[in-house]
Amino acid sequence: PRASKAKVVDVHTHMYPPEYIRILESRLTIPLVRSFPGATDPRLILLDAEVPALNVALSSGPAATPSVLPGRPLTRHFASLSQKLHFMDTHGIDISIVSLANPWLDFLPPATAGPTATSINTSFSSMCAAHPGRLYFFAALPLTAPQEAILSSIAHAAALPYCRGVILGTSGLGSGLDDPLLLPILRALATASLPIFLHPHYGLPNAVFGPLAAAGAYGHVLPLAIGFPVETTIAVTRMYLAGVFDAVPSLRMLLAHSGGCLPFLAGRIESCIVHDGHLAVLGKTASPPRRTVWEVLREQVYLDAVIYSNVGLKAAVQAAGEGGAGRVMFGTDHPFFPPVGGGEGEDGVWESVELNSLAVEGAFGAGTPGAEGVMGGNAVEVFRLFGE
């Protein structure tokens, strides 16, 4: 038991409701779930980088056990509410803001995306209602559906009592988050006071990682450690360059993985803008009136603390500016990054969680106001987690 009474809040924690798993089980292309002979759990295959291993596994025939299993095990942690609560109890987490994991509803046909969003968001809402004060959620949006369906889904989510925002990937309506056609959606979210939890999925093209990666030599390290954060960095920089933050000044975003590389690269992005001859001709470099990247980060952006080291965490806090510790929030990424080996180890303490809480202690000192804010106090205030 912790000595401190300060709440611990996990803002980055995922689930796939059973109906979502059923959709994945019915699919022939990624994202999909497949069982292989000899594997304890079915495999969850999500990322483009996992397709070469999937193809090798499928080519060995339905009765053969592949030498390398593609994707990751679909453990009981992905869909089970009791497992989520057990995980929270094991790690001293008082409150979780749960979200559908990637790739959300991005792959659904336009006709089914809207009804699926309604059904999945209602499931999340019912889960939260069964544990009032312990669970809240970020809703998923049917981004492949027509605009009216997306706007109705936002209205539906905003009316659900435990909804505290929406989770989005970087694809937007298909052309990214700097797409002018997305502005009505972003405005509707801002008007409904629903912040966006921005999370990567698409990473970088496999070719960037090279043939050895495609042959499986480096496991999942490159797409997860580099592809994901770079994707987030590019998506937010595109939004900044397109003037999205100025067009929707009340929009608020929580960026996964401490904003990817943004805390480290914001200075370079700024300098590249200031020194860009083309932007100068367009009158887009002078500040003011331009809000700098730093200003936008400090005014419209929150960062999670899922960065696994106090070096990255300190950069995130500094990027968030004076009082920046108030804009950074603890997360676990459960059920991803379980202890390797599976089995009973998954019911104990996860090293991936400890690395993140140790990073907070290392950056602020255990039990300090800064640490307590990052571990939970900030999320309670920002996401209004007051127990209703």
Under the criterion CB under 6 A, does residue 75 sit at the interface with ligand 5CU?
no
Task: Decide: 147 and 185 in contact? Cβ < 8 Å.
Answer: yes
Question: Shortest distance, CB of residue 200 to ligand 5CU, whole angstroms?
Answer: 8
CA distances from 7 to 4, 257, 356, 364, 374 (A): 8, 21, 16, 17, 10
In the chain, DSSP finds a helix count (H) and a strand count (E) of 17, 11
Measured over the CA atoms of residue 163, residue 320, residue 227 and residue 204, the dihedral's sign is positive
Question: Shortest distance, CB of residue 40 to ligand 5CU, whole angstroms?
Answer: 18
Question: Shortest distance, CB of residue 14 to ligand 5CU, whole angstroms?
Answer: 6
Which is nearer to ligand 5CU, 149 or 305 (by Cβ)? Answer: 305
- Pairwise CA distance, residues 289 & 14, whole Å: 39
Which is nearer to ligand 5CU, 42 or 326 (by Cβ)? Answer: 42
- Pairwise CA distance, residues 327 & 309, whole Å: 17
Binding mask 223-242 for ligand 5CU (x = CB under 6 A): -x------------------
Which is nearer to ligand 5CU, 102 or 310 (by Cβ)? Answer: 102
- For residue 94, the SS3 value is coil
**b vs e for 129-164, b when ≥16 Cβ sit within 10 Å of the residue's Cβ?**
eebeebbbbbbbbbbbbeeebbbbbbebbbebebbb
Task: Decide: 260 and 230 in contact? Cβ < 8 Å.
Answer: yes
Which is nearer to ligand 5CU, 47 or 140 (by Cβ)? Answer: 47
Which is nearer to ligand 5CU, 73 or 321 (by Cβ)? Answer: 73
- DSSP assignment, residue 43? E
Question: Shortest distance, CB of residue 9 to ligand 5CU, whole angstroms?
Answer: 18
Q: Which residues 106-165 are close enough to bind ligand 5CU by CB under 6 A?
A: none
Measured over the CA atoms of residue 341, residue 347, residue 351 and residue 353, the dihedral's sign is positive
Among 245, 336, 364, 383, binds ligand 5CU (CB under 6 A): 336
Which is nearer to ligand 5CU, 163 or 167 (by Cβ)? Answer: 167
Which is nearer to ligand 5CU, 30 or 151 (by Cβ)? Answer: 30
Under the criterion CB under 6 A, does residue 46 sit at the interface with ligand 5CU?
yes
Question: Shortest distance, CB of residue 72 to ligand 5CU, whole angstroms?
Answer: 6
Which helix (H) or strand (E) segment holds residue 119: the answer is helix 110-129
Among 33, 53, 101, 188, binds ligand 5CU (CB under 6 A): 101
Binding mask 185-224 for ligand 5CU (x = CB under 6 A): -----------------------------------x---x
Among 96, 102, 121, 332, binds ligand 5CU (CB under 6 A): 102
Q: What's the distance, CA 91 to chain centroid?
A: 20
- Pairwise CA distance, residues 384 & 119, whole Å: 24
Which is nearer to ligand 5CU, 98 or 273 (by Cβ)? Answer: 98
Q: Which residues 296-335 are close enough to bind ligand 5CU by CB under 6 A?
A: 333
Which is nearer to ligand 5CU, 220 or 298 (by Cβ)? Answer: 220
Token look-up 């009973």 returns 344
Residues that bind ligand 5CU (CB under 6 A): 14, 46-47, 72, 101-102, 220, 224, 333, 336
